[in-house]
Amino acid sequence: MPEKIAKEIKLAKYAGFCYGVKRAVETVKKLKAENPDKNVFVLGELIHNNHVIHALEKLGIKTLTEIPEHGDGICVIRSHGESPQVIEKIKQAGFEPVDLTCPDVKKVQQKAVELAKDGYFVVIVGKSEHPEVIAIRANAELWSENVVVAASVEQLKEYEAQIKSHKRVGVVVQTTQRLLTLNSIVEYLTSIAKEIHIANTICQSTAMRQKEARELANESDLVIVVGSKKSANTTHLAEILKDITKTIHIENADELDLYKELIETARKISITAGASTPQDIIEKVINKLKLL
Ligand code: SF4
């Protein structure tokens, strides 16, 4: 049995809901409270957290997995944003759309559109299946055919000939991407493109969260990242920290049992959490950790 040692537990300042998520959750609850007789739907999960989705369902706020042919009531566009085509479809079905796209995501959409309109070959850094990326791409593609998505240099290499044939390349980045990914893509583009315009659109909340977590990891034996495995920003956070120190990614306090041995032998433990992790889940993790 490894020796159990006294623990020092530190919680990151930037752990849990970011302002975009907080705004979305609070506004949707307010919408339902102000419109008790109307249906209130959210297209897709408002945030990647089952606990929050169930709590919203209890208030009568339902999640739509697709847009029905005919709808009635309010349909909320979540913080990731949607394509203009999807917003049109929501209206056509008869819903009243309420746009809760995070202002930081809106900025990426606007920047991508601006670059597309100005004739740049547009590179969106992110995963092509991420809802935020789908919406950014759809907005830019209204203005240009020259829009591509890449999550790595390897993926971008597929478009090398096109990039070389264009006069100017414009780069935007999905708000929760790793800076390291953006930097490697920029380095590659610098070596092949004639002219590049880089818009670092990683949101401030993500940048601060990642910076603080890195600093904490440097002084910790173990970092615990709390949040859904479906959440891109939480997964990125865990990936970054794994390069620095021992890191575990859990969704809730129960999962701590799986790492008992690791926890018992760590002296300095730091806790951080993704942008969609509610405060009470973080608190439960801290309370359980104190008992282990
Ligand atoms: S992570 Fe950033 S961009 Fe995404 S919702 Fe939060 S504040 Fe907005």
pLDDT in tens, 45-89: 999 888 899 999 999 999 999 999 999 999 999 999 999 999 999
Atom of ligand 1 nearest to the CA of 105: 3
Q: Which one is catalytic: 132, 145, 251, 283?
A: 132
Phi, psi of 119 (to 5 degrees): 85, 15
Q: What residue ranges define each of the domains in the chain, with the CATH number in brackets?
A: 8-16+205-291 (3.40.1010.20), 20-101 (3.40.50.11270), 104-198 (3.40.1010.20)
Answer whether residue 4 shows pLDDT above 70: no
Does 255 score more than 90 pLDDT? yes
Closest CA to 276 of 132, 139, 126, 87: 132
DSSP 219-249: T-SEEEEES-TT-HHHHHHHHHHHTTSEEEE
Largest distance between two CA atoms of the chain: 65
User: Rounded CA gap, 76 and 19, in Å?
Assistant: 17
For 174-191, the pLDDT digits (tens) are 999 989 999 999 999 999
Residue owning tokens 């919406």: 135
What is the amino acid identity at position 268?
K
Residue 163 CA to ligand 1 center (angstroms) comes to 30
Q: Summarize the confidence of residues 257-280 as an average pLDDT.
A: 94
Q: pLDDT at residue 2 above 60?
A: no
Distance 20 CA to ligand 1 centre (A): 5
> How many angstroms separate the CA atoms of 20 and 32, rounded?
19
State how far the Cα of 99 lies from the Cα of 92, in Å rounded to an integer. 16
Compute how many other C-beta atoms are within 10 angstroms of the C-beta atom of residue 88.
12
Query: Is residue 132 annotated as part of the catalytic site, yes or no?
Result: yes
Short-list 177, 198, 184, CA closest to 120: 198
Q: In a mutational test of the pocket of ligand 1, which residue from 173, 206, 211, 228 has the highest number of ligand atoms less than 8 Å from its CB? A: 206
Atom of ligand 1 nearest to the CA of 19: 7
Q: How far is the centre of ligand 1, averaged over its atoms, from the C-alpha of 204 (Å)?
A: 8
Band (pLDDT 50/70/90 cuts) for residue 1 is low
Cα of 102 from ligand 1 centre, angstroms = 6
User: pTM surpassing 0.85?
Assistant: yes
| H-run or E-run covering 216 | helix 204-218
More confident residue, 201 or 231: 201
Cα distances (Å, whole numbers) of residue 15 to 40, 103, 111: 29, 20, 28
Which residues line the pocket of ligand 1, CB cutoff 6 A? Answer: 18-21, 79, 102, 104-105, 175-176, 203, 205-206, 233, 275
Token code pair at residue 238:
């865990």
For ligand 1, what atom is nearest to the CA of residue 233?
1
